[in-house]
């Protein structure tokens, strides 16, 4: 069976991924399912700046560009899938591999997870949640240069 395609969105373009290709996201080597909306990838440049006596900006770049994957969403996950994903990000910092819109291909950086959200969807006869929908996470790059 061929999995449906899902989209990877960024400020630069939109890319298609299928289940038989490299995982879109992996945490410490553990592959996550391909998100439904893909990734909203934000790239920020840190700058140490100020203004001189003429009011002109004077500054310099600090470190490297920082990535944020915002609102990464999975439409439907089993209880076991969602629990496994939450456990994968339970350490404060972890190595995350994801598509790199700046350089193409994939990059791996030390990251941490922000908000996690899911809606319990199905309850079995014993009252246990068995499926979740609208599962979302935000991932933020720690900015360490030699990670």
β-strand partners of 141: 111
| Cα–Cα distance for residue pair 114/55, rounded to 1 Å | 37
Is pLDDT at 38 greater than 80 in this prediction?
no
Q: Are 99 and 108 in contact (CB under 8 A)?
A: no
Alpha carbon separation from 75 to 18, 99, 126 (Å, rounded): 15, 20, 24
Q: Among 53, 10, 52, which Cα is nearest to 35's?
A: 10
Residue that wins the pLDDT comparison between 103 and 21 = 103
**What band does 147 get if pLDDT is binned at 50, 70 and 90?**
low
Name the E strands within 10-93.
14-17, 26-27, 30-31, 40-44, 47-51, 57-61, 66-78
Average pLDDT over residues 127-134: 93
| Cα–Cα distance for residue pair 141/62, rounded to 1 Å | 15
Supply the pTM of this predicted model.
0.77
Average pLDDT over residues 33-59: 89
The lowest-confidence range among 18-27, 79-88, 98-107, 111-120 is 18-27
């Amino acid at each position: 069976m061929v999995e449906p395609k899902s989209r990877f969105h960024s400020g630069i373009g939109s890319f298609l991924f299928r289940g038989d290709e490299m995982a879109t996201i992996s945490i410490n080597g553990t592959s996550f399912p391909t998100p439904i909306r893909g990734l909203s990838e934000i790239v920020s440049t840190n700058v140490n700046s100020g203004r001189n006596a003429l009011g002109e900006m004077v500054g310099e770049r600090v470190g490297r560009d920082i990535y944020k994957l915002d609102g990464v969403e999975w439409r439907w996950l089993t209880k076991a899938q969602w629990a496994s994903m939450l456990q994968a990000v339970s350490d404060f910092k972890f190595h995350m591999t994801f598509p790199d819109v700046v350089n193409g291909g994939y990059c791996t950086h030390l990251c941490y997870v922000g908000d996690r959200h899911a809606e319990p969807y199905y309850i079995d006869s014993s009252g246990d949640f068995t499926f979740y929908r609208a599962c979302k996470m935000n991932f933020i790059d720690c900015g360490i240069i030699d990670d």
